[in-house]
Amino acid sequence: MMEDAKAYEALRVGFTAAVSHELRTPLARLMAILDSASLPGADQDSLLAQAREEVEEMTELVNDVLFLSELESGREVVALGGTRALPVLEEVRDRLTDSAERADVVIRIDAASEVVLPLRRRMLQTIVENLAQNAIRYAGPGSTLTLTARPGLLEVADGGRGVEERELPRLFERFYRSDSARASRGTGLGLAIVKHVVVSAGGEIQASGGPGRGLRIVCSFPTPAHGLA
């Protein structure tokens, strides 16, 4: 028990330090924007838009941290009955269409209407949206993002730039960013949240791919329950 307590405390301290570090960057940028806004001839509209982006990034980070905390504490139930996958995939695609078009990424769906996955609807949305957003951010222009659902399986794959194979095992770590993703915005928690949800539902998650071969993430689950969420 003592060893478990020490391990938990070390994890908590490390997580707190990582969150603090991640918040420093947008805060520093926000302060620089505010300083610039006080200069003569400053473009107030442009600076205001930049400031809003920084606030939105910090808000997203805080929301992700709180959500991950709720998952880990058990306050958020992950698996309760089952959810039809196709309507959720279509909803996420429609919600992300604008950002995908800006990134020159095409989203396609491969799922039968009867496929049910053993997750609450909100949790399935969380998985699909985080994986899709990750692909839209990092796959690169001209990529095709495919959302696939089969009994016991959810797959999100893109034909984009991919990541180094040595980085694949670390993609689901909190705040980890591959070399190609370091300059991009994002909380660094999306894939960690996905893994936690999948594992909490009794599933497994794997990433594969390589430079120029895109990224493929497969979530496999036990046989879904009969009830629909």
Q: Please list, in sequence order, all residues whose beta carbon lies within 8 angstroms of the beta carbon of residue 195, skipping any fewer than 6 positions away.
A: 172, 205
pLDDT at 182 over 50: no
pLDDT at 225 over 60: no
Per the prediction, the chain carries an average pLDDT of 79
Handedness of CA 203, 209, 213, 215 (dihedral sign): positive
- Percent of the chain at pLDDT > 70 equals 71
* DSSP line for 126-189: HHHHHHHHHHHHHS-TTEEEEEEEETTEEEEEE-SS---GGGGGGTTSTT---GGGTTS---S-
How far CA 132 is from CA of 113, 120, 138, in Å, comes to 20, 18, 10
Residue type, 195: K
Least confident stretch, 2-6, 85-89, 188-192 = 2-6
Per-residue pLDDT at 10 = 47
Residue count of the chain: 229
The predicted-structure confidence for 87-111, as pLDDT tens digits, reads as follows: 999 999 999 999 999 999 999 999 9
pLDDT at 119 over 70: yes
Alpha helices in 41-184 (DSSP H): 44-73, 85-102, 121-138
The predicted-structure confidence for 128-178, as pLDDT tens digits, reads as follows: 988 999 999 889 999 999 999 999 999 999 989 988 888 888 888 866 655
Per-residue pLDDT at 6 = 52
Per-residue pLDDT at 167 = 87
Least confident stretch, 42-46, 159-163, 212-216, 221-225 = 221-225
Domains of the chain: 2-73 (1.10.287.130), 83-220 (3.30.565.10)
The predicted-structure confidence for 33-81, as pLDDT tens digits, reads as follows: 888 888 888 888 888 888 887 777 777 666 666 666 666 655 445 555 7
Per-residue pLDDT at 156 = 96
Identify the CA nearest to 191 among candidates 144, 105, 128.
Answer: 128
How sure is the predictor about 11, in pLDDT bands with cuts at 50, 70 and 90?
Answer: very low
| 194/68: higher pLDDT | 194
* Bridge partner list, 108: 146
